[in-house]
Chain A
Amino acid sequence: MLKVAVVRFPGSNCDFDALRAAERVGTHAYLVWHRDTSLQGADVVILPGGFSYGDYLRSGAIARFSPIMQAVQRHAAEGGAVFGICNGFQILCEAHLLPGALVRNAGLTFVSKPVDVVVERTDTVFTSAYAPGTRLRLPVAHGDGRFVAADDTLRMLEAEGRVVLRYEPSSEASPFQPNPNGSANHIAGIANAAGTVVGIMPHPERVADPLLGAPDGLGFFTSLAARQPRDTTLKVPSQ
């Protein structure tokens, strides 16, 4: 059974949503605390949304140095899968597990609303269940979501096809403001070269249950659930 560790930092507030979404697709999901030093053999790590350490200094800047992040760094270096959602994406950039940075929204306001995004790269651990070009309606909720990177980094991301999600760039195709935060190249999410580390600003875990409307975000979790567990001795616990 696939083991999914959801990291809880002081200030995380989407940890249970991520946990439930991971459980929904049949994984063994559990929380780990920021002071923990072990991921307990996790196959997949989720860094959930929230405001870790109060977003002090910069979003994700302090969380990056928490004890559990040293374990996450090792996990990622060994090819382990890591999914950063919103604040988790900010932490991945601060930790240099993904390039670029997420800075204050161009409009200066906190943006909390649905947006339309297009799935561009699908050979990642977290988007393999989608067809390339799939349009999703996902909620965003962030104040620091404007993706920026040096020009050569942006060129590299585009050339290597590492843009995972892009805000629908056409206002005719979407009733919502096309790019809610002023991100470079309308980027809403990126991956590392191997497709094992992915960070996105929208919140798929909030739309992974049909009870809450179209479960556009569920595919991120069915994608990760298809990953092969490293420890095949772990069986489904009997209820």
Chain B
Amino acid sequence: MSFRVHVRVMPRGGLLDPQGQAVEHALAALGFAEAGGVRIGRAIELDVAAGSRPEAEARVRQMCDKLLANPVTEDYLLEVEEA
């Protein structure tokens, strides 16, 4: 089976996110004063061949821990869908 996995990597809460701050200021300058708490991360999508959904998720977690995210500064979320 093949699964499409969506990985969302975000700067860890509490870590200064200057990109998020800059975008928040830009939004305020454009009149979107109601926007707050802007944080910027990255999205990664990949296809994974695996026997089951839990297996696919477990493998992508290993990929995140080893390479896709830095455990010192980032957290990640996974969404797995059947391709």
| A and B interact physically | yes
Question: Which residues of A pack against B, CB within 8 Å?
Answer: 57-58, 61, 65, 93-94, 99-101, 103-108, 146, 148-150, 182
User: Is the Cβ of A61 less than 8 Å from the Cβ of B70?
Assistant: yes
Name the one of B19, B70, B72, B73 contacting A108, with C-beta atoms under 8 angstroms.
Answer: B19
Q: Which residue of B lies closest to A94 (CB)?
A: B70
A112 to chain B, nearest CB (A): 18
Complex contacts, A182 vs chain B, CB 8 Å: 16, 18
A-B contact pairs, 15 of them (CB 8 A): A57-B68, A61-B67, A93-B72, A94-B70, A100-B72, A101-B70, A101-B73, A103-B11, A104-B18, A104-B19, A108-B18, A108-B22, A148-B73, A150-B72, A182-B18
Report the interface size for chain B: residues with CB under 8 A from the other chain: 11
User: Is the Cβ of B67 less than 8 Å from the Cβ of A57?
Assistant: yes
A186 to chain B, nearest CB (A): 15
Q: Which residue of B lies closest to A146 (CB)?
A: B16
Complex contacts, B1 vs chain A, CB 8 Å: none
Interface of B, secondary structure class, is mixed
Complex contacts, A106 vs chain B, CB 8 Å: 16, 18
User: Is the Cβ of B70 less than 8 Å from the Cβ of A58?
Assistant: yes
Complex contacts, A150 vs chain B, CB 8 Å: 72
User: Is the Cβ of A107 less than 8 Å from the Cβ of B18?
Assistant: yes
> In the bound complex, how far is the Cα of B16 from the Cα of A199, in angstroms?
22
**Interface pairs A-B: 4 shortest CB-CB:** A101-B72, A101-B73, A108-B18, A106-B18
Interface of A, secondary structure class, is loop
Question: Which residues of B pack against A, CB within 8 Å?
Answer: 11, 15-16, 18-19, 22, 67-68, 70, 72-73
User: Is the Cβ of B72 less than 8 Å from the Cβ of A149?
Assistant: yes
> In the bound complex, how far is the Cα of B68 from the Cα of A65, in angstroms?
12
What would 8 more interface pairs be, CB under 8 Å, given A65-B67, A149-B72? A57-B67, A61-B67, A100-B72, A101-B70, A103-B15, A104-B19, A106-B16, A108-B19
> In the bound complex, how far is the Cα of B40 from the Cα of A104, in angstroms?
12
> In the bound complex, how far is the Cα of B15 from the Cα of A149, in angstroms?
10
Complex contacts, A105 vs chain B, CB 8 Å: 18
A2 to chain B, nearest CB (A): 33
A52 to chain B, nearest CB (A): 14
> In the bound complex, how far is the Cα of B15 from the Cα of A106, in angstroms?
11
Complex contacts, B70 vs chain A, CB 8 Å: 58, 61, 94, 101
User: Is the Cβ of A148 less than 8 Å from the Cβ of B15?
Assistant: yes
Q: Which residue of B lies closest to A105 (CB)?
A: B18
Q: Most A CB atoms within 10 A — which of B11, B67, B72?
A: B72
> In the bound complex, how far is the Cα of B73 from the Cα of A57, in angstroms?
13
A150 to chain B, nearest CB (A): 7
Complex contacts, A146 vs chain B, CB 8 Å: 16
